[in-house]
Amino acid sequence: MNPATKNQRTLRELPPRRLDWYTQAVLLLGDRVSQAGWALLALGSVFFWTTAVNSEVRYWFQDKTIHWQDKQGVILEADSTATMEDGQRVWRYLHSVAPGDGYRYRGTSYSVGKKFDAGQLAYIRYDAENPATNYVIGLRRSEHAWWINLLLLLPVLGFVLVLVPLRGNWRVLRLLKIGDFTRGQLFAKTPTGQVESFGSHVLPVFRFEFRFEHNGAVFHATCRTPHPALVEDEDSESILYDRFNPSFNLVYDAVPNLPKITAAGKLAPMDWNKAWVLFSPMFWVAVNGVYLLLR
């Protein structure tokens, strides 16, 4: 008898199977593409709240709704920032203006390269209804230029990377809950011409095809993997399929992060060493939650 036959597992737990939230979260978010997407989203969130929301773009629409007036004011302080642009330091100016209502209002403006010294006079543009909104004419009101927002394309890409595999992951999760268990016989193994990298190792990806029967009809189940041993270690491979649509199926061992099948034929709880895949999504939620509470 082939030793592999002795190790064949059978999923005896009947559908619908109940899965805890942790198992479902790992299955939905644990693939490599999703992880890259969540990492970009998390880093993009930090950039958005610390830089993008404070860039010059925020003032574009404000300019069209304010009745501006100009008056001479004075530069109170001139300090360099840590920001560099076009090889020059960005400077911050604290200035004040007295529009004639008995009060003197302060404001902050920025320039690339030094334009003023403390004590110099400068023309200030201010909101006639709220003079606390003001800036030095010819300078900008943010430390960061409008084009810094182009970096928001990174979290947009991250969002796409999260969404693309979500449908496939949801299908896997659904089959795990409602799928019937059977075994399929391998009848074709072909190279795809694709490769996957794992650190310094580059492995070719193969396409495997299996046959299984349901109600006297033969159906095919296919999978792609750079790890052939996963689906060649048994005489026949575990297949989950939808009894009402057997073409909707999966090769169990070829899908990453699926729960192990115990000797009793039940789905084992998901290993807690998979919890790291939830770090980036939780970090994204935490970052956005903190910044929303602080605003």
Averaged pLDDT of the chain: 89
What stretches of 65-142 show up as alpha helix (H) in DSSP?
none
Give the model confidence (pLDDT) of 164-195 as tens digits.
999 999 999 999 999 999 999 999 999 999 99
Range in 44-48, 53-57, 269-273 the model is least confident about: 53-57
Residue carrying structure tokens 């391998």: 186
Assess if CATH 2.40.160 describes domain 67-142.
Answer: no
Alpha helices in 64-122, H assignment, sequence order: none
Look at residue 5 in the predicted model and tell me its pLDDT.
47
Is residue 14 classed as helix, strand or coil in its secondary structure?
Answer: coil
Query: What is the dihedral sign for C-alpha 259, 262, 266, 269?
Result: negative
Q: Where are the domains of the chain?
A: 3-44+157-292, 67-142
Percent of the chain at pLDDT exceeding 90: 63
Q: Determine the average pLDDT of the residues in 70-92.
A: 93
Cis peptide before 256 (omega within 30 of 0): no
